Chain A
Amino acid sequence: MALSTLRIVWLYPDLLSTYGDRGNLLVLAHRARIRGIDVEPMQVRSDQHVPHTADMYLIGGGEDGPQAVAAERLLQDGALGRAAEAGKPILAICAGYQLLGSSFYANGRAYEGLNILDLRSDRGPSRAVGEIAGESAPQLGIGPITGFENHGGRTHLGEAVQPLARVSSGVGNDGATEGAWAGHVIGTYMHGPALARNPKLADLLLAWAVGVHPAQLPPVDDTWPERLRHERFTALSAAQ
């Protein structure tokens, strides 16, 4: 691990930070620091340029209006697309996930997305609110996923992306799959602190940023996150 300082950019907290989105930044910084990796968290507002020298990018969830503004500004800025091409890890949540696709719905009409992930989003028949769980793509090695979703959109995946998970509870993209990934870009409807409940997903992003295999990261004590996961899975199976 040659990196002296890991620079993690949290994009547009002024627009997209609705459900504890800061949590993902906090979890990444915490898990990096206990392994001796220094972290420089950078909060970038929507009226600032997106730095192209960062090691990882996070983008959160939000309401329709801010989502449309965020997409427009990111398209103008261009740096996030170049970061994806350069293989920088990107984690996008909910509204942030939708705007990485080719198009999304907000304020009753379609908007152009950033075309970073091969997917498009539209409106679903009803709002998806509640716990979500599923089996993640085995290649990622992150185990079952657990989170909370709250969105009105549905997302249709193209050929060039893989679903992040098969849904066992909740709705996700369309009731069958949840989220998407391609290269080092991950999008998900698990909102807010998705990484607090899915520590192996956090480590995968860190490993990508540092340029190692996740197994090469020093182990950390995950007693509490594992208990929380167990609790959430148990609560879901009790409800079914």
Chain B
Amino acid sequence: MSANLTPRAKFATTLLRTAAALSRATGRGDGSVIGGRVGLIVEPRLLELLAEGRHVVLVSGTNGKTTTTRFATAALEAIGKVATNSFGANMPTGHTTALAKAPKAEYATLECDEHYLGQLLDAASPKVVALLNLSRDQLDRAMEVTALAAKWRQTLQASAGQTTIVANADDPLIVWAASVCQRVVWVAAGQSWTADSAICPNCGAHLDRFGEFWRCTNCGLNRPSPQWSVAQQGEAVVGPDGRRYELNLQLPGRVNRANAATALAVASLFGVDPAQAAPRLSEVASVAGRYAKVEREGRQLRLLLAKNPAGWLESFDMIEQGPPVVLSLNAREVDGFDTSWIYDVDFTSLAGRKVVVTGDRRTDLAVRLEVDGVDFLVVDDVRAAIAAVPPGPVEVVANYTAFQDIRAEFNRVN
């Protein structure tokens, strides 16, 4: 833990907390980023110093990072205090703040942006790294996805000697990246988007798929046997010895059961009994507004965040049949300026239900839905969307800043 901080690091930590508190007080956000930035200027090794002596878990991947981090935190809290970047500030500044704010926490679960995995491996010396999935996301500013997997593979080979990797056996890019590590626990976490892994990441030949199994006929890369999986029937996780751990999640969808499986696998590496941890996961009702249920004028809205093709397909899998659907799309800097990816999403499953579109780029969505033969209504904002649907349940799917706009409308619901 951080009892042995140098005076400089202690000073940096104090400044970090002050900057974060000031930022919060002036309504600029939760202060994680600015606080961490201040602290790291004073002591560039602050993250490393704050991480020293703690049991650190990193969680990375394209989708499900925030939820899986939250689940892993809930599971580990069964045995101790846990520091975590629960505000989604998933770069080193946010990690530094999370650790500085919880000096007594023996454990730390840190959601990590895909591009900072190498830096965090070096700085935080994690005991466990959970790797969820890789798929196309914000291609106009991020690295193409195979190149990212190659970077991970290199990084893991160089820096993950003492680390146990908990990795998704169903994602060929993840398997290829993680297979250089000595200690890997495989989880059958599923893959809702296969278009980025039609080709073997190792040799470029075609991957054959038979149900959930996949293999490369050329180089032999194939799906490892998973130790953890999501039960085929009912809502449960099946552990390495075949034992079932019943889930009673408030969060919807198979993808969240898979996130739960990963979290239980992570926690069990620290000696947490999954039977004891599983009920803790059902206490998670929403994650930074994701899956939150809010009420307005007799409409019960459920808010789903989906940032990329895989995320949108997953949310279409989660939504209830019947209720109207509100779709909101922005293309601001953090969303990526390019909206082409909406053509990678199949909207035909929405045909026949009431669909309302909004967001800065609602016209892009209108054209997209027309092509898929889905009827829609275009409105200016979420208030107008609420007015356009009858009282009752409503499913809302939005990408990043569109989601934040909607959250703001509901007092930044968590």
Binding site for B on A (CB under 8 A): 13-15, 17-23, 26-27, 30, 45-47, 63, 65-66, 69, 129-131, 148, 150, 191-193, 196-197, 224-225, 227-228, 231
Contact = CB atoms under 8 A, between A and B. Distances in A.
A14 B206 contact: yes
Given A26-B372, A131-B337, 4 more contacts: A13-B195, A20-B341, A23-B368, A30-B373
A148 B367 contact: no
Contact of A19 (B204, B206, B341, B363): B341
B15 interface: no
Nearest to A46: B206
Contacts of B318: none
Given A20-B341, A63-B144, A65-B146, A27 B371 contact: yes
Q: Which 7 A-B pairs have the closest CB atoms?
A: A23-B343, A20-B343, A192-B340, A20-B340, A14-B198, A19-B340, A193-B343
Main secondary structure of the interface of A (DSSP, over half): mixed
A21 B373 CA distance: 18
A207 to B, nearest CB: 19
B366 interface: yes
A224 B367 contact: yes
Nearest to B363: A228
A21 B195 CA distance: 12
Contacts of A227: 363, 366
B340 A66 contact: no
A65 B204 contact: yes
B363 A196 contact: no
6 contacts: A20-B342, A65-B146, A66-B204, A129-B140, A130-B140, A197-B367
B364 interface: yes
Contacts of B320: none
B146 A63 contact: yes
B338 interface: yes
A18 B370 contact: no
B344 interface: yes
**Highest count of chain B CB atoms <10 Å: which of A23, A63, A131, A224:** A224
A192 B363 contact: no
Given A14-B206, A63-B144, A225 B340 contact: no
A228 B199 contact: no
A228 B367 contact: yes
A196 B338 contact: no
Nearest to B199: A14
Nearest to B206: A47
A69 B204 contact: yes
A191 B340 contact: yes
Contacts of A225: 367
B371 A18 contact: no
Contacts of A150: 139-140, 338
A140 to B, nearest CB: 21
B199 A66 contact: yes
A107 to B, nearest CB: 12
Nearest to A19: B340
Contacts of A27: 371
B147 interface: yes
A191 B199 CA distance: 21
A27 B342 CA distance: 13
Contacts of B343: 20-23, 26, 192-193, 196
B350 to A, nearest CB: 15
Given A26-B343, A65-B146, A196-B367, A148 B206 contact: no
B136 interface: yes
Contacts of B338: 19, 148, 150, 192
A69 B367 CA distance: 33
A27 B367 CA distance: 10
Contacts of B147: 63
Contacts of A130: 140, 337
A200 B373 CA distance: 20
A183 to B, nearest CB: 27
Contacts of A196: 343, 367-368, 371
Nearest to A15: B199
A117 to B, nearest CB: 23
Nearest to B338: A148
**Highest count of chain A CB atoms <10 Å: which of B136, B363, B367, B372:** B367
Given A65-B146, A224-B370, A18 B206 contact: no
A193 B341 CA distance: 9
Contacts of A18: 136, 139, 144
Contacts of A191: 340
B110 to A, nearest CB: 30
B267 to A, nearest CB: 37
Interface in B335-393: 337-344, 363-364, 366-368, 370-373
B344 A20 contact: yes
A30 B371 CA distance: 6
Contacts of B140: 129-130, 148, 150
